[in-house]
Each structure stands twice: as structure tokens, then as C-alpha cells.
Amino acid sequence: MLVLKFVLVRGQSNMLIDMKRVCMRLWDFIRFMLKLRIMIFWVKAIMKILNIEKNLIMRIIWN
């Protein structure tokens, strides 16, 4: 009886550890995705700024 209880407790703690690990994995993945989206946003913003500057330079050169 005591052994069975011990096994059940062990099993539950293992499940909890697994859940924790899965949550950590998910959290890492979400953080990675957020970083990726922020990086893409900044790259797009920089490209836009560079594009505007390029257009201005082109206009100055042509005029």
C-alpha cells in the first residue's frame, strides 16, 4: 500500500516536472518568436527609412 502511494507520488512529481519542462519549452519558443517579430519589424522600419532617404537622394541628384 505504502509502495503504491510512493509510486503514485513519484509519478505525479515526474508529470509535474514534464509539464514544467514543456512550459519552459513553450515559453522559450514564444520569446524566440517575439524576438523574431521585433527584429523583422525593425528591419522593415530601417528599410523604409533607407528607402525614403534613397528617394530623397535620387530627387536631389535628378533636380
pLDDT in tens, 12-50: 777 777 888 888 999 999 999 999 999 999 999 999 999
**H-assigned helices in the chain:** 2-62
Q: Find the length of the chain.
A: 63
Confidence at residue 19, expressed as pLDDT on a 0 to 100 scale: 82
Please give the residue range of the domain that contains residue 57. 1-62
Q: Please state the domain count of the chain.
A: 1
Spatial CB neighbours of 1, under 8 Å, sequence gap ≥ 6: none
pTM score of the predicted model:
0.50
